[in-house]
C-alpha cells in the first residue's frame, strides 16, 4: 500500500488559496530562496547518508567558460532527475557537479579579452619577462574558470538542480592533474607512450596540433577555395607534362613527388601551344572538355619513375633537399591504395604529394623513404629559405602562390567547394604540418605482458578498450556501434599540445642526449605522482612549492636522467584536454566531495561507487571525446568500464529547426529562458522528449507544454484547494487501502489508475526512460482532470447530496495530489513543492520518499481500468451521436442509441460504470449497437419530465454564468429573480446557486 497519506498539521485548517493566474517564474524564485535559506538542499543530500544502497551518478564536467544556454539545461535536467528519483528511493549519493577548466577554449577567450593575437603576445604580457608573463596568463585562465563556474552554479540552482554546490570538482585541481600522471605512468610502464614524428592537423592561430579526437564533423565548414591544375614538365621528354590538380595550392612548394595509380590508363593529350599533358584516361573529357586530341594511352605503371621539374625548384630550401636526395626527388611513383587512394571522380588521376603537408602524403613518404620540405612555421608563415614566399602567411595569402603559378605553370584555376576542417576552438582553417608529438599507442602489446586469466588475451589498448566498451549499456543502442566504429578506426591518441600554456603539465621528462642515442626509442620517462617528482627532483622544488602543477612553476623542477645522470626537464608541451575529463571517475570520488580521491585513500570504498551507474551527455562529439577518454583511462588503470550506463541525447535546435545562433535570433540564453518560460515547464519539455532525437526548443513549444500539461495540473490542484476550503474539508488519517473502501466507482478507478501510474513511472525511471515516465504522468493528469474531476463535480460543494461521498472524493483527491507531487518532484521540483507544502504542511517534498505500492492490497484494479477505458470510448461515440442528432448535451434524453466500433461484450462492464456513462451523456437509458441495453429495466420518463429537467438545467447554467459575469466568488450569496414556472424547484435552485432570496419575474436576474 501507499504509506499513509500525510496528515495536515493540526493547526492548518485551510489550504492557502491558489491563484489562477499565478506568476510561475516568481513562484520558482520564492522556493529557490527558501530552499537555500532553510538548508533544504543540504537536508536533501543528507537524507540517505546512512543508507546501504548506493546510486553513483557522475557528472560530465561542463566547460566553465561562458554562461549557460538553454541547451545546457536539457542535460542538466537529466542530471538532476535521476539523483532526485534515487533520493526518493532511499539511495546514498554523492551529488557532485563538475567543471572542465583547462585547455585552449579558456586560453582563446582570455586572449580575446586581453586583445592578444599570438604566442609572442602571451609571453610578453609582462614585457621582457616570459616566466612572469606565463604565470600571469595561467592565473587569468584560472580566474576566468572560477568566474564562470560561479555563474553556471547560480544558473544550475535556478534550474532547480540540487547538488553539493560548495564542492563541485574542477579538472584543474591538483588531484585531477596528478591522477592523470598516474594514468600516464601506467601507459608508460605498458610501453604505450611514444614520441611520434608525424603529419598532424594544425591550427595556425593557436599554433598547436589538433588531435583527430578534436576534429568533429561540426567543425568542418563548406568552403570555397581556389584549386589549381598545374603542369610539371617531364625531364627528358619535350613538351610533355604531368597535369596535377590540388585544392591546397599553398602546399605546392613542399611537393616531393607525384602519385599515380599503376592500374589506371593514362593518356597523353595534345593541348594548346604545342604542350602535351598526361592525365588519367577517364578524366580527359572532364579536364579538357572539348577540342582535345589523345596522342597515346599507356598503363600508369609505364609512367612510374619519370622525373619532372616543378614551379619552386629555384628556392634555396627546395634546392637543398633536391641536391641531397636526387634519387627520390620529383619522381612519379605508384600509389599504395591503402594509404593514398586515387579516384577518377575528380582531378587528373595524378596526385601532388607534399610529404610535409598532408597525412597521407607523409605516410606515403615514410613508406617510400621520400625526403620532405617543411615549408611553414607554427603560425603558417612560410619559413626562411623559401625566397619571395618567406615570411608570408600560407593560409591568409593563397594569392601569392596562385599569382606566381598563373605566369607560367597553371593550366587552370577553378573555384572549388569542399568541406574543410577548422579549429574547434577559434574556427581558423587548419593546415597540416609534420611535428614531434606525444602519443598513446593503440596497437602495441603491453610490455608487461598479459595474464590471460585476467584479460582474455587482449594485449593492446585498442583490443582492451573494445572489450570494455561492450560491457557498457549504451542508450540509445546505436551508441555502442558509434563508439566501436571510432575505437576500431582511430589512430593513436595524440596527447600533447605544443606552444600552449593552460593545461595539464605532461609529466614526460626527456633526455635529449639519450633520446638521440636511441633514435627516440628511449631517453624519456614519465613521472606518476607529486611524491615521485619530489623524490626524483634534483633542483627547482623550492620554486615549485606552493604552486599548482601548471606552467610555469612546475617546470622549475628538474630530475636526473636515469641513464646518463644529466639534469633533465619536463617536455614543454601541455596535455590534450580530454585527458582531464577522462580521469574524473578516478579523481573526483572522495568521501566528502573534497578530500583526497578514494581511489588512492580507500579503494574498497571507491569500488562502492565504481563503475558509476549513470552518465548522461549530449552525444555528438562525445564518442571521440569524453566517452573515449574515460574508457581509455579506465581501461589502462583498472581494465573496467568507468560507467555502467550512458544515456546520450541529441542536439537542441531552435523551434524553426535551425541550429541556435545568436545572430539568427533563435538562441535562448538560459537565464532569459528561465524567466520567460519557467524552469518547471522547461524541465518538462526536456524530460518528455525522446533523447535520441534532436529537440526543437523555443517559446511557442513552451507555451504548448504549459497549456496542455502544466496548467491542467495546476487547475486540478486549484480545484481541490478551492472546494476543499469551501467545504471545510479536514484531512483524515486514511491510507490508500481505506480509501479504496469508497463506494464510488470513480474513486476506486482513479486510485487504481494512480497506483498503475506510480508503478509505471518507477519502472520507466529505473530503465532510464524519462520520456515514457513523463508521458505516463501526462496521461494520468489528463484522466484526473478530464474524467475524475469532471465526473465528480456534482459530488462537492452545493451540488453534493451525500456527505460521505463528498468526503471520500476529497480524501481520494487529496491523497492523489500529495503523492503525485512526490512523483513529479524529480521532473518539476518547484510546482511539486508548492503543491506538497500547501497540502501537507510538511517541510519539503525534497525530503520525501517514493510512494510504496504494495500490490497485495489490490489498489490496482486493471479490470476496472479497462472497463472505464471502454466506457470513455462509448461516451465519445455517444457525443458523436448527439452531434449527428443535433441535440445539445444540456438537453436530457430518454435513450441514446450509440454505435460503437468496439467488438466487446458490453455486459462485462459493471453497472456503476454504466451509471457514469449515463450521467456524462445526460441520458436515462443507453443502447449500444442496437443490442445492448442499460439499465436492463428501462427507465421511463415522460417528454414533459425531460423538458422540465432540461429547462431547469438551462436555468442553473444561466444563473452561474451571470454570477461569473458579476465577478462573484464561489461562496458569495445572491438574491435571485427567476420565472414563476420554477417555483416548485426553488429550494433545489437556491441550494445550487447559493441564493438567499428568490423572487419571480419574466427574466432570470442575479441581484
Q: Is 784 in the site for Zn ion (CB under 5 A)?
A: no
Residues in the chain: 1007
User: Considering only residues 76, 84, 94, 205, which one is a binding residue for Zn ion as defined by CB under 5 A?
Assistant: 205
Q: Is 734 in the site for Zn ion (CB under 5 A)?
A: no
553 is written with which cell numbers?
Answer: 612553476
Our CB check for Zn ion shows the closer of 511 and 822 to be 511
Beta carbon nearer to Zn ion, 393 or 428: 428
φ, ψ at 695 (rounded to 5°): -115, 130
Q: Are 5 and 815 in contact (CB under 8 A)?
A: yes
Give, in order, the Cα–Cα distances in Å from 782 to each of 48, 534, 918.
Answer: 33, 66, 21
Q: Which stretch binds Zn ion (CB under 5 A): 200-208, 276-284, 665-673, 714-722?
A: 200-208
Question: Is residue 855 part of the contact set for Zn ion (CB under 5 A)?
Answer: no
| CB of residue 573 to Zn ion, shortest distance in Å | 16
Nearest distance from C-beta of residue 428 to Zn ion, angstroms: 5
Q: Annotate 812-840 with three-state secondary structure.
A: HHHHHHHHHHHHHCCCCHHHHHHHHHHHH
Measured distance CA(140)–CA(312) in Å, rounded: 45
Q: What is the dihedral of CA 565, 567, 573, 578, to 10 degrees?
A: 60
511 binds Zn ion (CB under 5 A): yes
Cβ at position 104, least distance to Zn ion in Å: 7
Nearer to Zn ion, 206 or 994 (CB): 206
CB 556 within 8 A of CB 495: no
Taking CB atoms within 8 Å and a gap of at least 24, the contacts of 786-794 are: 787/746, 787/868, 787/872, 788/746, 788/749, 788/750, 788/813, 789/716, 789/719, 789/813, 790/920, 791/746, 791/916, 791/919, 791/920, 792/746
d(CA 199, CA 518): 22
Q: Which of 423, 781, 870, 928 binds Zn ion (CB under 5 A)?
A: 423
Nearer to Zn ion, 423 or 667 (CB): 423
Q: Which of these ranges, 203-211, 537-545, 606-614, 875-883, lies near Zn ion under the rule CB under 5 A?
A: 203-211
Cβ proximity to Zn ion, 210 vs 372, nearer residue = 210
Among 89, 215, 426, 737, binds Zn ion (CB under 5 A): 426
| CB-nearer residue toward Zn ion: 563 or 607 | 563
Which is nearer to Zn ion, 116 or 514 (by Cβ)?
Answer: 514
Among residues 206, 350, 505, 679, the one that binds Zn ion under rule CB under 5 A: 206
CB 556 within 8 A of CB 540: yes
Kindly state the smallest distance separating residue 363's Cβ from Zn ion, in Å. Answer: 25
Among 370, 514, 646, 796, binds Zn ion (CB under 5 A): 514
**Pattern 551-570, binding to Zn ion, x per CB under 5 A?**
----------x-xx-x----
Query: To the nearest whole angstrom, how small is the minimum distance from the Cβ of residue 520 to Zn ion?
Result: 13
What is the nearest approach in angstroms of Zn ion to the Cβ of residue 475? 34
203 binding Zn ion? (CB under 5 A): yes
Q: Within 453-482, which residues bind Zn ion (CB under 5 A)?
A: none
To Zn ion, the closest distance from the beta carbon of 395 in angstroms equals 12
CB of 216 vs Zn ion, minimal distance in Å: 14
Residues 163-192 that bind Zn ion (CB under 5 A): none
Peptide bond connecting 476 to the previous residue in cis, omega within 30 degrees of 0 = yes
Q: State the DSSP code for 503.
A: S
Nearer CB in complex with Zn ion: 219/566: 566
Question: Alpha-carbon distance 599 to 183, whole Å?
Answer: 12
Closest approach of Cβ 511 to Zn ion, in Å?
A: 3
Following DSSP, what letter does each residue of 609-629 receive, concatenated? T-SBSBEEEE-TTTTTTHHHH
Q: In terms of CB distance, is 203 or 859 closer to Zn ion?
A: 203
Residue number with CB closer to Zn ion (108 or 923): 108
- Residues in contact with Zn ion, total (CB under 5 A)? 12
Least distance (Å) from Zn ion to the CB of residue 65?
A: 15
The window from 168-176, 201-209, 625-633, 814-822 that contacts Zn ion (CB under 5 A) reads 201-209
Report whether 24 contacts 853 (CB < 8 A): no
| Closer residue to Zn ion (CB): 206 or 646 | 206
Question: Min. distance of Cβ 624 from Zn ion in angstroms?
Answer: 18
Other beta carbons within 10 Å of 889: 15
User: Angle at the Cα of 474 (from 489 to 421), degrees rounded to 5?
Assistant: 40
What is the rounded distance in angstroms from the CA atom of residue 226 to the CA atom of residue 420?
13
Task: Name which of 514 and 765 has its Cβ closer to Zn ion.
Answer: 514
Name residue 659's beta-bridge partners: 653
What are the strands, taking DSSP E only, across 422-492? 431-440, 473-475
Residue number, 564 or 885, with CB nearest to Zn ion: 564
- Cell readout for 702 is 513552451
Candidate segments 421-429, 469-477, 637-645, 712-720, binder of Zn ion by CB under 5 A: 421-429
CA distance linking residue 172 with residue 105, whole number of Å: 14
Q: Least separation, in Å, of the C-beta of 422 and Zn ion? A: 8
Contact code string over 566-595 relative to Zn ion, x by CB under 5 A: x-----------------------------
Q: From residue 295, give the alpha-carbon distance in Å to each of 199, 240, 271, 309, 691.
A: 39, 11, 10, 22, 61
Sequence-ordered list of residues with C-beta below 8 angstroms from that of 759, at least 6 positions apart, any chain? 853, 860
* Lookup: cell for 413: 584555376
- Please report, as ranges, the residues that interact with Zn ion according to CB under 5 A: 203, 205-206, 423, 426, 428, 511, 514, 561, 563-564, 566
Amino acid at each position: 500500500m501507499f504509506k499513509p497519506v500525510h496528515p495536515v498539521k493540526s493547526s492548518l485548517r485551510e489550504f492557502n488559496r491558489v491563484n489562477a493566474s499565478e506568476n510561475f517564474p516568481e513562484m520558482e524564485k520564492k522556493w529557490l530562496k527558501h530552499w537555500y535559506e532553510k538548508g533544504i538542499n543540504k537536508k536533501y543530500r543528507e537524507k540517505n547518508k546512512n543508507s546501504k544502497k548506493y546510486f553513483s551518478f557522475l557528472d560530465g564536467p561542463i566547460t566553465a567558460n561562458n554562461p549557460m544556454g538553454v541547451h545546457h539545461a536539457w542535460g542538466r535536467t537529466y542530471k538532476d532527475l535521476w539523483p532526485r528519483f534515487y533520493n526518493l528511493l532511499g539511495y546514498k549519493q554523492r551529488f557532485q557537479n563538475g567543471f572542465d577548466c583547462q585547455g585552449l577554449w579558456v586560453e582563446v577567450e582570455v586572449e580575446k579579452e586581453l586583445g592578444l593575437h599570438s604566442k609572442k603576445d602571451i609571453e610578453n604580457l609582462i614585457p621582457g619577462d616570459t616566466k612572469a608573463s606565463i604565470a600571469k596568463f595561467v592565473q587569468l585562465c584560472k580566474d576566468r574558470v572560477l568566474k564562470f563556474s560561479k555563474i553556471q552554479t547560480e544558473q544550475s540552482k535556478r534550474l532547480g538542480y540540487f547538488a553539493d554546490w560548495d564542492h563541485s570538482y574542477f579538472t584543474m585541481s591538483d588531484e585531477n592533474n596528478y591522477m592523470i600522471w598516474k594514468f600516464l605512468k601506467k601507459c608508460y610502464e605498458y610501453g604505450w607512450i611514444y614520441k611520434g614524428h608525424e603529419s598532424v592537423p594544425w591550427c595556425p592561430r593557436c599554433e598547436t596540433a589538433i588531435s583527430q579526437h578534436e576534429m568533429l564533423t561540426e567543425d568542418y565548414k563548406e568552403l570555397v577555395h581556389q584549386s589549381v591544375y598545374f603542369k610539371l614538365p617531364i625531364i627528358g621528354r619535350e613538351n610533355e607534362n604531368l597535369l596535377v590538380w590540388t585544392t591546397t595550392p599553398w602546399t605546392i612548394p613542399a611537393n616531393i613527388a607525384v602519385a599515380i595509380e599503376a592500374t589506371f590508363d593514362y593518356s597523353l593529350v595534345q593541348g594548346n601551344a604545342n604542350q602535351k599533358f598526361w592525365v588519367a584516361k577517364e578524366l580527359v573529357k572532364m579536364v579538357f572538355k572539348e577540342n582535345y586530341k589523345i596522342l597515346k594511352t599507356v598503363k600508369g605503371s609505364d609512367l612510374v619513375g619519370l622525373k619532372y621539374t616543378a614551379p619552386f625548384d629555384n628556392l634555396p630550401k627546395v634546392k637543398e633537399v633536391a641536391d641531397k636526395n636526387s634519387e627520390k626527388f620529383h619522381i612519379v611513383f605508384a600509389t599504395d591504395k591503402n594509404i593514398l587512394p586515387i579516384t577518377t571522380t575528380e582531378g587528373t588521376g595524378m596526385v601532388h604529394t607534399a610529404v610535409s603537408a598532408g597525412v597521407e602524403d607523409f605516410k606515403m613518404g615514410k613508406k617510400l623513404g621520400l625526403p620532405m620540405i617543411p615549408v611553414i612555421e607554427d603560425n603558417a608563415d612560410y619559413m626562411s629559405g623559401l625566397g619571395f614566399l618567406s615570411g608570408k602567411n600560407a593560409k591568409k595569402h593563397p594569392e601569392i602562390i596562385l599569382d606566381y603559378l598563373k605566369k607560367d605553370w597553371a593550366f587552370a584555376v577553378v573555384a572549388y567547394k569542399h568541406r574543410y576542417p577548422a579549429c574547434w576552438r577559434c574556427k581558423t582553417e587548419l593546415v597540416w604540418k609534420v611535428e614531434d608529438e606525444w602519443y598513446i599507442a593503440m596497437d602495441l602489446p603491453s610490455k608487461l605482458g598479459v595474464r590471460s586469466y585476467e584479460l582474455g588475451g587482449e594485449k593492446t589498448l585498442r583490443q582492451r578498450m573494445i572489450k570494455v566498451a561492450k560491457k557498457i549499456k549504451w542508450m540509445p543502442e546505436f551508441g555502442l556501434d558509434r563508439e566501436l566504429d571510432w575505437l576500431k578506426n582511430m589512430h593513436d591518441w595524440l596527447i600533447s599540445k605544443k606552444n600552449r600554456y593552460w593545461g595539464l603539465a605532461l609529466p614526460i621528462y626527456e633526455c635529449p642526449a639519450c633520446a638521440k642515442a636511441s633514435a627516440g626509442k628511449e631517453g624519456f620517462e614519465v613521472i606518476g605522482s607529486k611524491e615521485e617528482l619530489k623524490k626524483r627532483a634534483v633542483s627547482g622544488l623550492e620554486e615549485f612549492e606552493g604552486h599548482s602543477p601548471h606552467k610555469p612553476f612546475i617546470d622549475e623542477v628538474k630530475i636526473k636522467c636515469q641513464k646518463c645522470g644529466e639534469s633533465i626537464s619536463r617536455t614543454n608541451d601541455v596535455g590534450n584536454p580530454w585527458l582531464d575529463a577522462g580521469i574524473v571517475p578516478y579523481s573526483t570520488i572522495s568521501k566528502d566531495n573534497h578530500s583526497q580521491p578514494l581511489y588512492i585513500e580507500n579503494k574498497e570504498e571507491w569500488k562502492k561507487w565504481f563503475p558509476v551507474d549513470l552518465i548522461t551527455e549530449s552525444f555528438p562529439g562525445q564518442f571521440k571525446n569524453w566517452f573515449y577518454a574515460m574508457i581509455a583511462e579506465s581501461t589502462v588503470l583498472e581494465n573496467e568500464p568507468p560507467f555502467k550506463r550512458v544515456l546520450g541525447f541529441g542536439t537542441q535546435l531552435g523551434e524553426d529547426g535551425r541550429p541556435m545562433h545568436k545572430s539568427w535570433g533563435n538562441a535562448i540564453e538560459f537565464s532569459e529562458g528561465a524567466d520567460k518560460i519557467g524552469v518547471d515547464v522547461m524541465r518538462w519539455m526536456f524530460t518528455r522528449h525522446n533523447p535520441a532525437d534532436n529537440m526543437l526548443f523555443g517559446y511557442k513549444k513552451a507555451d504548448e507544454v504549459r497549456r496542455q500539461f502544466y496548467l491542467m495540473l495546476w487547475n486540478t490542484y486549484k480545484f481541490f484547494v478551492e472546494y476543499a476550503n469551501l467545504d471545510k474539508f479536514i484531512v483524515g488519517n486514511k491510507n490508500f487501502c481505506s480509501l479504496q473502501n469508497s463506494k464510488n466507482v470513480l474513486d476506486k478507478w482513479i486510485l487504481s489508475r494512480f497506483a498503475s501510474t506510480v508503478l509505471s513511472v518507477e519502472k520507466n525511471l529505473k530503465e532510464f526512460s524519462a520520456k515514457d515516465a513523463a508521458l505516463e504522468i501526462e496521461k494520468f493528469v489528463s484522466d484526473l482532470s478530464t474524467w475524475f474531476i469532471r465526473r465528480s463535480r456534482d459530488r462537492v460543494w452545493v451540488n453534493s447530496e451525500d456527505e460521505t461521498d463528498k468526503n471520500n472524493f476529497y480524501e481520494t483527491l487529496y491523497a492523489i495530489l500529495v503523492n503525485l507531487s512526490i512523483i513529479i518532484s524529480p521532473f518539476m521540483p518547484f510546482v511539486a513543492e508548492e503543491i506538497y507544502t500547501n497540502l501537507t504542511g510538511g517541510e519539503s517534498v525534497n525530503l520525501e520518499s517514493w510512494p510504496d505500492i504494495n500490490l497485495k492490497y489490490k489498489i490496482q484494479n486493471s479490470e476496472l481500468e479497462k472497463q472505464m477505458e471502454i466506457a470513455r470510448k462509448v461516451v465519445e461515440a455517444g457525443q458523436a451521436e448527439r452531434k449527428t442528432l443535433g441535440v445539445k448535451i444540456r438537453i436530457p434524453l430518454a435513450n441514446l442509441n450509440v454505435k460503437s466500433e468496439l467488438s466487446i461484450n458490453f455486459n462485462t462492464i459493471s453497472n456503476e460504470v454504466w451509471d457514469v456513462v449515463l450521467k456524462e451523456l445526460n441520458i436515462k437509458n443507453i443502447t449500444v449497437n442496437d443490442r445492448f441495453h442499460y439499465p436492463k429495466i428501462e427507465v421511463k420518463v415522460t417528454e414533459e419530465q425531460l423538458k422540465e429537467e432540461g429547462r431547469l438545467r438551462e436555468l442553473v447554467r444561466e444563473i452561474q454564468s451571470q454570477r461569473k459575469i458579476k465577478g462573484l466568488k464561489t461562496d458569495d450569496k445572491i438574491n435571485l429573480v427567476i420565472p414563476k414556472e420554477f417555483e416548485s424547484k426553488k429550494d433545489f435552485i437556491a441550494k445550487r446557486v447559493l441564493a438567499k432570496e428568490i423572487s419571480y419575474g419574466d427574466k432570470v436576474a442575479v441581484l
